């Protein structure tokens, strides 16, 4: 089934903007799904209290029904409407990092539609740090369930164009707020256990969290997932670009030699490289993703870079690996999931 997807283009005129938000909000109240910008990536929103509306998110994305959605709120009062309790740790994190790229997993009180939480007794909630998202939430007056607005398995969208590429004809509309700033998704922290656990690294770093909490741990399953790309023949199903992504772990000379070998064998290779590596390579096509010593730049550009190379143009994509410090943990988590192969010096 196909529908007309409205694309509300960016406007400086506040009266136009008000009208756009009004229109989007009316559709949301009518149980339709609308994409909107957040500070991390674009989200695909629906009224989190309406099962039928939420179902449309899963259908548009082709998302497996057992993967729960994050609920977006405009204020802390809305959190209280959705959860059984707010433990002190969660309160602290909300005070410190909201609005911002941090999702808190809390005990649900059952108010959200059952498909939002995929049947779990917990619910993931965040307050986005984006004026358009907050205005839309206030105008709609409902918490909005919103996963990243990509087709399931594809890189998350950091521009309205990316959303359009994936979901044109499948959703009611796209509110265009220009490119998103953080570039990787929110950090998901489980606050239902004795010690808070990072389930997904993201825009708020472990180091940020450690400044506020006595203790926080990484979900051990994250380390397992890191190993996966090493196993040959792994099918890529997360954040996947059109052509297979290979990661190169080693110094710049090593990267250069690998690239040379692959080209010699007749492969059409696309390269994603930091400014520092790009300076040392004489290669086209190449996409720069910022300085490796400014990892927030890499985070901002990563998903756009993964979408840039088309299957018709390159046989494979070669990308360097980055430090896992700070937001580097999120960058490497996504790259490891997107990659089918890893080449190492040792
Ligand atoms: O930055 C973001 O978080 C973006 C923007 C749109 O807000 N949203 C996003 O949603 O990345 P999504 O659906 O692509 O990722 C949600 C993640 C998934 O890994 C999901 O399993 C986890 O959050 N999640 C949601 N609710 C959960 C829960 N109750 N318990 C554990 N994990 C949960
Ligand atoms: Mg996603």
Q: What is the pLDDT of residues 112-136, one digit of tens each?
A: 999 999 999 999 999 999 999 999 9
Mean pLDDT of 170-183: 98
Residue 79 lies in a domain: yes
The answer to whether residues 260 and 218 belong to one domain is: no
Mean pLDDT of 72-85: 98
**C-alpha 149 – ligand 1 centre gap (Å):** 12
Query: Burial code of 194-232, b = ≥16 C-beta within 10 A, e = fewer?
Result: eebbbbbbbbbbbebbeeebeebeebeebeeeeeebeee
Residue 250 lies in a domain: yes
**Cβ of residue 123 lying under 6 Å from some atom of ligand 1:** yes
Q: Is pLDDT at 181 greater than 50 in this prediction?
A: yes
For tokens 């398995």, what's the residue? 153
The answer to whether residues 119 and 208 belong to one domain is: yes
Residue 239 lies in a domain: no
* CATH number for 327: 3.40.50.11030
**Cβ of residue 146 lying under 6 Å from some atom of ligand 1:** yes
* CATH number for 93: 3.90.870.10
Give me the helix-helix angle, 220-227 and 328-338, nearest 10°.
40
**Cβ of residue 99 lying under 6 Å from some atom of ligand 1:** no
**C-alpha 11 – ligand 1 centre gap (Å):** 29
Mean pLDDT of 153-166: 97
pLDDT tens for 191-215 read 999 999 999 999 999 999 999 998 9
Residues by chain with Cβ below 5 Å of ion ligand 2: 148
Per the structure, the count of domains in the chain is 2
pLDDT value at residue 225: 56
Sheet containing strand 43-47, edge to edge, reads: 6-8, 173-175, 34-36, 43-47, 144-145, 70-72, 122-126, 102-107, 187-190, 197-200, 217-218
26 is in an annotated binding site: no
**Rounded Cα–Cα distance for residues 300 and 179 (Å):** 9
63 is in an annotated binding site: yes
The answer to whether residues 169 and 264 belong to one domain is: no
Q: Using the atom order of ligand 1, give the atom closest to the CA of residue 126.
A: 7
Residue 229 lies in a domain: no
333 is in an annotated binding site: no
Choosing from 223, 258, 280, the residue where a domain stops is 223
Mean pLDDT of 53-77: 96
Choosing from 169, 189, 223, the residue where a domain stops is 223
Q: Is 169 exposed, middle or buried (0-12, 13-18, 19+ CB in 10 A)?
A: exposed
Residue 230 lies in a domain: no
**Rounded Cα–Cα distance for residues 3 and 12 (Å):** 28
pLDDT tens for 14-44 read 999 999 999 999 999 999 999 999 999 999 9
Q: Can you give the pTM of this predicted structure? A: 0.96
**Cβ of residue 40 lying under 6 Å from some atom of ligand 1:** yes
pLDDT value at residue 185: 97
Torsion sign, CA atoms 31, 33, 37, 39: positive
**Of the bound ligands, which one is closest to the alpha carbon of residue 70?**
1
pLDDT tens for 285-315 read 999 999 999 999 999 999 999 999 999 999 9
The answer to whether residues 14 and 112 belong to one domain is: yes
- Strands of 33-180, DSSP E: 34-36, 43-47, 70-72, 102-107, 122-126, 144-145, 173-175
Residue 1 lies in a domain: no
**Cβ of residue 45 lying under 6 Å from some atom of ligand 1:** no
Residue 237 lies in a domain: no
- Confirm if 19 and 136 have CB atoms less than 8 A apart: no
**Cβ of residue 121 lying under 6 Å from some atom of ligand 1:** no
**Cβ of residue 193 lying under 6 Å from some atom of ligand 1:** no
Domain that holds residue 210: 6-223
Tokens of 16: 């136009």
The answer to whether residues 157 and 254 belong to one domain is: no
**Rounded Cα–Cα distance for residues 42 and 160 (Å):** 7
296 is in an annotated binding site: no
345 vs 26: which has the higher pLDDT: 26
């Amino acid at each position: 089934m196909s529908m007309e997807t409205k694309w509300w283009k960016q406007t400086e005129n506040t009266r136009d903007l008000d009208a756009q938000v009004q229109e989007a909000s009316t559709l949301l109240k009518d149980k339709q799904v609308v994409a909107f910008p957040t500070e991390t990536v674009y989200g695909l929103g629906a009224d989190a209290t309406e099962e039928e509306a939420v179902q449309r998110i899963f259908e548009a994305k082709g998302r497996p029904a057992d993967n729960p959605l994050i609920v977006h709120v405009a204020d802390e009062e809305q959190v209280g409407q959705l959860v059984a309790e707010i433990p002190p740790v969660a309160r602290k994190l909300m005070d410190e990092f909201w609005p911002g790229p941090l999702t808190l997993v809390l005990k649900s009180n059952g108010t959200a539609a059952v498909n939002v939480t995929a049947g779990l007794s917990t619910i993931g909630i965040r307050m986005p740090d984006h004026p358009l998202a907050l205005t839309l939430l206030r105008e709609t007056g409902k918490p909005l369930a919103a996963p990243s607005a990509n087709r399931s398995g594809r890189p998350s969208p950091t521009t309205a164009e990316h959303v359009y590429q994936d979901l044109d004809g499948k959703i009611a509309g796209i509110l265009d707020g220009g490119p998103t700033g953080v570039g990787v998704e929110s950090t998901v922290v489980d606050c239902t256990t004795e010690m808070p656990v990072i389930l997904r690294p993201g825009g708020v770093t472990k180091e940020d969290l450690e400044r506020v909490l006595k203790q926080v741990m990484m979900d051990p399953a994250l380390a397992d997932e890191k190993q996966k790309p090493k196993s040959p023949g792994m099918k890529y199903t997360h954040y996947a670009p059109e052509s297979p992504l290979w990661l190169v772990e080693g110094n710049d000379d090593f990267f250069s030699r690998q690239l040379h070998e692959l080209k010699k064998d007749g492969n059409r290779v696309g390269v994603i490289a930091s400014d520092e590596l790009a300076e040392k390579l004489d290669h086209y096509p190449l996409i720069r993703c910022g300085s490796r010593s400014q990892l927030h730049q890499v985070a901002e550009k990563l998903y756009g870079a993964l979408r840039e190379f088309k299957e018709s143009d390159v046989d494979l994509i070669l990308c360097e690996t980055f430090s896992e410090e700070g937001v580097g943990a999120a960058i490497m988590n996504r790259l490891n999931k997107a990659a089918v192969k890893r080449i190492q010096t040792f």
